[in-house]
């Protein structure tokens, strides 16, 4: 979700306190806001990005089934030199009953680690702007349908305007290029949910 104001399910249901939300509340939110739950869908094979692509050197952590949220956040935290393991993030945000994580928990955990984290409705121009500023983003995709969603968090690491592809860390694939049309179709079904995580010292 950017436009310059924050929108989307995460901000609408964000609790007043800055701590992690209770398990029962998280479970309720999962039912009401399925688009924030990630089951981490497997990814297919795709070609490598072109040499002209805009790409950031974001650390890659393989996303095991159910752990794409924790792995994505770990990648971004390491990019900003926050040493943390996927296991630590998983312990804090993973919901066994859902086999996934909520976007709101990723946001709160990043803040707990001293980062500035905001969710919003993104767009491809917004992705280009952030990447040009050296800022990777986390996007939440729905690889299924609206009735039977298949949630998947990815790290946006680059953009290939020549081939019209978004480059992401996804599943077991590092810097995987996805055609604009495919990416946007899956992104649109989550209202373009996007998470920006940067150090508090960043402008």
The answer to whether residue 14 sits within a structural domain is yes
Distance CA 84, CA 133 (A): 24
For the segment 46-52, the average pLDDT, to the nearest whole number, is 65
Parent domain of 51: 9-199
User: How many domains is the chain built from?
Assistant: 1
54 forms beta bridges with 159
The answer to whether residue 2 sits within a structural domain is no
The pLDDT confidence band at residue 47, using thresholds 50, 70 and 90, is low
Is 60 exceeded by the pLDDT of residue 31?
A: no
The answer to whether residue 42 sits within a structural domain is yes
**Predicted TM-score (pTM) of this structure:** 0.79
Distance CA 171, CA 42 (A): 6
Q: How far apart are the first and last CA of the chain?
A: 20
So what's the pLDDT on residue 114?
96
The answer to whether residue 38 sits within a structural domain is yes
Distance CA 132, CA 97 (A): 38
Distance CA 83, CA 160 (A): 29
The answer to whether residue 3 sits within a structural domain is no
What is the percent of the chain with per-residue pLDDT over 90, rounded to a whole number?
Answer: 67
At how many degrees (to 10) do helices 86-93 and 68-79 cross?
Answer: 130
Is 50 exceeded by the pLDDT of residue 93?
A: yes
The answer to whether residue 22 sits within a structural domain is yes
For the segment 6-14, the average pLDDT, to the nearest whole number, is 32
The answer to whether residue 4 sits within a structural domain is no
CATH number, position 64: 3.90.70.10
């Amino acid at each position: 979700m950017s436009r310059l104001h924050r929108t989307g399910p995460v901000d609408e249901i964000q609790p007043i306190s800055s701590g992690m939300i209770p398990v029962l509340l998280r479970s309720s939110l999962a039912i009401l806001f399925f688009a924030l739950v990630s089951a981490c869908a497997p990814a297919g094979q795709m070609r490598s990005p072109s040499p002209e692509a805009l790409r950031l050197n974001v650390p890659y952590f393989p996303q095991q089934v159910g752990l794409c949220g924790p792995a994505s956040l770990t990648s971004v935290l390491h990019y900003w030199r926050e040493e943390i393991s996927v296991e630590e993030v998983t312990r804090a945000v993973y919901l066994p009953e859902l086999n996934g994580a909520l976007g709101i928990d990723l946001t709160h955990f990043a803040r707990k680690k001293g980062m500035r984290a905001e969710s919003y409705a993104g767009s491809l121009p917004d992705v280009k702007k952030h990447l040009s500023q050296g800022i990777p983003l986390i996007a939440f995709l729905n690889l299924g349908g609206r009735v039977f969603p298949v949630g998947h968090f990815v790290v946006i690491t680059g953009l290939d305007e020549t081939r019209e592809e978004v480059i992401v860390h996804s599943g077991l694939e590092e810097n995987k290029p996805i055609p604009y049309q495919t990416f946007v179709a899956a992104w649109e079904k989550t209202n373009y949910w996007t998470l920006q995580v940067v150090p508090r010292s960043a402008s």
